[in-house]
Amino acid sequence: MDGSTVKASEHHKIRADLLISGDFVLTFNEGKEVLEKGAVAVTGDRIVAVGETSRLAEEIEAKEELDACGCLLMPGLINLHTHAAMTCFRGLADDLPLQEWLHEHIFPAEATYVSEDNVYWATLLAVVEMIKSGTTTFCDGYFYEDGAARAVAASGIRAVLGQGVVDFPAPGIPDPRINLKAAEAFVFRWQGKSPRLMPSIFCHSPYTCSPETLIGAKDICREHEILFQIHLAETRTELEETQQRYGHRPVHHLANLGLLDAQTICHHAVMVNDEEIELLAHSGVGVSHNPESNMKLASGVAPLPKMLAAGVKVGLGTDGCASNNNLDIFQEMDTAAKLHKVHQGDPALSSALQVAAMATNGGAAALGMSPRLGSLEPGKKADLIVIDLNQPHLTPMYEPCSHLVYAARGADVRDVIIDGSIVMRERQLLDVDEQEVMAKVREIAEGIRTKQ
Amino acid sequence: MDGSTVKASEHHKIRADLLISGDFVLTFNEGKEVLEKGAVAVTGDRIVAVGETSRLAEEIEAKEELDACGCLLMPGLINLHTHAAMTCFRGLADDLPLQEWLHEHIFPAEATYVSEDNVYWATLLAVVEMIKSGTTTFCDGYFYEDGAARAVAASGIRAVLGQGVVDFPAPGIPDPRINLKAAEAFVFRWQGKSPRLMPSIFCHSPYTCSPETLIGAKDICREHEILFQIHLAETRTELEETQQRYGHRPVHHLANLGLLDAQTICHHAVMVNDEEIELLAHSGVGVSHNPESNMKLASGVAPLPKMLAAGVKVGLGTDGCASNNNLDIFQEMDTAAKLHKVHQGDPALSSALQVAAMATNGGAAALGMSPRLGSLEPGKKADLIVIDLNQPHLTPMYEPCSHLVYAARGADVRDVIIDGSIVMRERQLLDVDEQEVMAKVREIAEGIRTKQ
């Protein structure tokens, strides 16, 4: 091949902003293809090519190259359920009966210490923790959610942010009669402000929101084409109370109110029977599975294998830091894979691939964002993570997905790219001052501690 | 104060080799005392003082000081049950029915690839992984255990190493008639060779060892005053087979053979009823609880809360890498704390403190080493770890033990001291070439992969 040919072929090279090449690329595309010695090319906020490194290096001319030799590339993880600002209550009260935990510790602390500024700092701490453990999108619900929105805008992460709604006085909304107005105002303030930020409304539960409140909230969501979120069928107490008050189990109660559709996410779905699983599947709602929180609060074990078999769109969540107590989706994957095996007495249930797919494809589907998120494919948003495989606990390597679920941990994430931008490189966050955020949350905690 | 007074008081200072000072010292002494701004002084292989840093700095003159500002000090973790060399099968086969997993994957791979040299390298990899996640003592069982002994001798970790015994041809012991002789020869070769290495005999189980083999092995253990180990009551199949063959449940079967005493460790104890729990408690045997392995293999949930209430000496174990798939006791603590809550429907069960005590005091008691290991107290062996608290997922801090169990992970361990020597500093191992060990095990795995 002479010089002119090389020149000519170089002229035909596709330009890209960033080319990342690693030992393995877990695409999580429909065929769950795994490429050895693969690469991903990014332009702007999108993936433009995925393929063998040797081919992409020939075809693509990138402004910047990220060498992930010895690493695995995969889509960023999706944390489908959390209350990010609750990082400031991490470890405040553990190992207590549920009612004592809620009424004597969490609610009083929230009543006193939840302010927009505290929500900003505590959410920013959560964002730092999530990015450092490979989460690139999270779905949140809390009060003073403007604080969370400012944290998301500042940090580079992607999020669905649900302003909390309950029928009693809440942080920031002392008069519950205006809870829906406040939620709608939040949606107005943030919709369309950033491609990384999707406002939402989070009705706390069927036992803290009246049917009127639930219907009103869903109407606002329909009008603005945003997601409606709710805690549903989390505990036996909720199941029994809902049956007593409304004559129906929680999922049926919501179905009767016309709230179950593809723009609704139900969190937990622990207390659901076969008929309800069918309802969840056919209505197209998203469901978050939060095994560590359900275990710690002794809520129960959600029928995950049945939900997956029925085709329910299930993603994984950590829940808030007060009931977990970290936001590491790697640990959640490991627990989800193991819990259902022992619960059903079948070691073939909840395979590593199924669980990893929940943390990527499943979360994206539940959010209604499958066309944009959850896999490494041309045209999708460039949200991806680099996992360092050159570590004792990831050696040797027979099957990448097995390592992802059963051996890896959040600390193994080396680099994180969200919306086409590198937000963490070699475990250093580029846009957030980690030490400042920790110092601010320690200050908030000092106040909480002295009042306990 | 004049110069001469200072000089005089300095003359009275106690000399020590090493003084480590941190933000919190979790002593795990009888009162489970936690010191804020505390320090530990070490001379030779022993702890000589534990107390407030201000006091120890006045009283002690140390050759070397380790500043663990922003960190937590605690006793090194004890992994009470593993098969260290099985790191080379990490992720080889997951999510399979137990019999298929064992007979089609693990046993054939073991038959072909277990050699003394491979056991040396694969155990060394396990040791590196364990030190890097805060384990300072492990209790092992495998074949070609001389390889494991060489790895322990080379690495600086502390271990009880059990030569495996079964009544059929095994790696290194093609003729089962000499299995006890081979085990005794192993004990001879290693007893008294290193203060960090205690040989032991590991009879695989009541279904792979005849009563004669079990009694013979225990006799050798009694003669040499070493620990006898066995997998016991791990699965329902074992329970039913033992009842069918011997007319008794597994724990009773062992009791009838006279094998239950304070120098015996039973691994798993999943299928034990109330009467058997009483037997385990009164006989003084040690029990390892391995929740992640029991979950992954769908073996069942051990009645941990009942065992602890009855006073059984329970420690925590990871089991081997083929059924976990890592050796991180932090994950095991988190899982142990959460699993029993959901299993029994009581969020107050398996508290963080109880679980952390199992990973320290409990393991030491099960090994019969409470006078030497498991807590930070003067006179005990200097096995301790430094955990870096200055991290997003450990911020803020209300209760150190809560963080240890529910939020921390192996990667948070910064420094490790075993037998008075610093073996890891700032996450760098001082005595083992991590890259070399990983490269060797990758080579072994290449052979295993091509035969699968």
Reduce the secondary structure of B205-223 to three states and give it as a string: CCCCCCHHHHHHHHHHHHH
Q: Which residues on adjacent β-strands are paired with residue B60?
A: B14
The answer to whether A136 contacts chain B (CB < 8 Å) is no
- The pLDDT score that the predictor gives to residue B111 is 87
Inter-chain CB proximity A345 and B298 less than 8 Å? yes
Inter-chain CB proximity A393 and B334 less than 8 Å? no
CA A419 to chain centre: 15
- The pLDDT score that the predictor gives to residue B6 is 39
* A100 Cα to chain B: minimum distance (Å): 11
Confidence tier at B10 by pLDDT (50, 70, 90): low
Inter-chain CB proximity B128 and A392 less than 8 Å? yes
Confidence tier at B99 by pLDDT (50, 70, 90): confident
Task: Decide: helix, strand or coil at residue A199.
Answer: strand
Inter-chain CB proximity A295 and B101 less than 8 Å? no
CA A249 to chain centre: 27
* Cβ-nearest to A94 among B327, B344, B352: B352
Spatial CA neighbour of A106 closest among A119, A91, A118, A125: A91
Residue B363 tokens, joined: 């393991």
Which residue in the block uniquely carries the two structure tokens 């701004």?
Answer: B37
**3-class secondary structure for chain B?**
CCHHHHHHHHHCCEEEEEEEEEEEEECCCCCCCEEEEEEEEEECCEEEEEEEHHHHHHHEEEEEEEEEEEEEEEECEEEEEECHHHHHHCCCCCCCCHHHHHHHHHHHHHHHHCCHHHHHHHHHHHHHHHHHCCEEEEEEEECCHHHHHHHHHHHCCEEEEEEEECCCCECCECCHHHHHHHHHHHHHHHCCCCCCEEEEEEECCCCCCCHHHHHHHHHHHHHHCCEEEEEECCCHHHHHHHHHHHCCCHHHHHHHCCCCCCCEEEEECCCCCHHHHHHHHHHCCEEEECHHHHHHCCCCCCCHHHHHHHCCEEEECCCCHHHCCCCCHHHHHHHHHHHHHHHHCCCCCCCHHHHHHHHHHHHHHHCCCCCCCCCCCCCCECCEEEEECCCHHHCCCCCHHHHHHHHCCHHHEEEEEECCEEEEECCEECCCCHHHHHHHHHHHHHHHHHHC
The answer to whether B355 contacts chain A (CB < 8 Å) is no
Q: Which helix (H) or strand (E) holds A61?
A: strand A60-75
Task: Identify the CATH number of the domain defined by range A3-75+375-429.
Answer: 2.30.40.10
- d(C-alpha A452, C-alpha B21), whole Å: 28
- d(C-alpha B138, C-alpha B196), whole Å: 10
The answer to whether B132 and B144 are in contact (CB under 8 A) is no
Q: Is B90 left (phi over 0), alpha (psi -120 to 50) or beta?
A: beta
* Cβ-nearest to B295 among A341, A395, A438: A341
The answer to whether B260 and B254 are in contact (CB under 8 A) is yes
Interface of B with A in 49-108 (CB under 8 A): 87-88, 90-92, 94-98, 101
Let me know if domain A77-366 sits in CATH 3.20.20.140.
Answer: yes
Inter-chain CB proximity B88 and A396 less than 8 Å? yes
Q: Determine how many CB atoms are found less than 10 A away from the CB of residue A153.
A: 15
Q: Determine how many CB atoms are found less than 10 A away from the CB of residue B45.
A: 17
Taking CA–CA distances from B412, the nearest residue in chain A reads: A411
- The pLDDT score that the predictor gives to residue B3 is 36
Q: Do domains B3-75+375-429 and B77-366 have the same CATH topology?
A: no
Measured in degrees and rounded to the nearest 5, phi and psi for residue A118 equal -65, -40
For residue B408, the one-letter residue type is: A
Task: Decide: helix, strand or coil at residue A212.
Answer: helix
Residues 6+ apart with CB under 8 A from A185: none
List strands edge to edge, sheet with A428-429: A46-52, A34-43, A14-26, A60-75, A384-388, A413-418, A421-425, A428-429
Taking CA–CA distances from A299, the nearest residue in chain B reads: B342
- The C-alpha angle B122, B125, B131, rounded to 5 degrees, equals 140
- d(C-alpha A389, C-alpha A24), whole Å: 10
The answer to whether A387 contacts chain B (CB < 8 Å) is no
- d(C-alpha B325, C-alpha B328), whole Å: 9
Inter-chain CB proximity B325 and A407 less than 8 Å? yes
The answer to whether B410 contacts chain A (CB < 8 Å) is yes
A-chain residues within 8 Å CB-CB of B390?
438
Q: Are strands A60-75 and A384-388 parallel, antiparallel or unpaired?
A: antiparallel
Which residue in the block uniquely carries the two structure tokens 């009612």?
Answer: A99
The answer to whether B230 and B264 are in contact (CB under 8 A) is yes
Taking CA–CA distances from A301, the nearest residue in chain B reads: B342
* B290 Cα to chain A: minimum distance (Å): 13
- d(C-alpha B107, C-alpha B130), whole Å: 24
Q: Which helix (H) or strand (E) holds A341?
A: helix A329-344
The answer to whether B172 and B116 are in contact (CB under 8 A) is yes
- d(C-alpha B284, C-alpha B260), whole Å: 8
Inter-chain CB proximity A341 and B297 less than 8 Å? yes
For chains A and B, CB pairs below 8 A equal: 217
B-chain residues within 8 Å CB-CB of A294?
342
CA dihedral for B317, B318, B319, B320, sign (positive or negative): negative
The answer to whether A12 contacts chain B (CB < 8 Å) is no
Confidence tier at B452 by pLDDT (50, 70, 90): low
Percent of chain B, pLDDT > 90?
Answer: 92
Residues 6+ apart with CB under 8 A from B103: none
Interface of A with B in 309-338 (CB under 8 A): 324-328, 331, 334-335, 337-338
B-chain residues within 8 Å CB-CB of A319?
none
- Ranges of residues in chain A whose predicted pLDDT is under 70: 1-11, 452
**For residue range B158-214, what is the model confidence (pLDDT) as tens digits?**
999 999 999 999 999 999 999 999 999 999 999 999 999 999 999 999 999 999 999
- The pLDDT score that the predictor gives to residue A99 is 82
- d(C-alpha A431, C-alpha B330), whole Å: 30
Peptide bond into A206 cis (omega under 30): no
* B211 Cα to chain A: minimum distance (Å): 30
Q: How far is CA A213 from CA A177, A207, A216, A240, in A?
A: 10, 11, 5, 21
The answer to whether B282 contacts chain A (CB < 8 Å) is no
* Cβ-nearest to B298 among A87, A326, A346: A346
- The pLDDT score that the predictor gives to residue A450 is 80
The answer to whether B417 contacts chain A (CB < 8 Å) is no
Q: How many residues does chain B have?
A: 452
B-chain residues within 8 Å CB-CB of A397?
91, 442, 445
Q: Domain boundaries in chain B?
A: 3-75+375-429, 77-366
Inter-chain CB proximity B296 and A326 less than 8 Å? no
- d(C-alpha B166, C-alpha B176), whole Å: 7
Question: At residue B7, does pLDDT exceed 60?
Answer: no
Taking CA–CA distances from B84, the nearest residue in chain A reads: A393
Inter-chain CB proximity A96 and B403 less than 8 Å? no
The answer to whether B75 and B383 are in contact (CB under 8 A) is yes
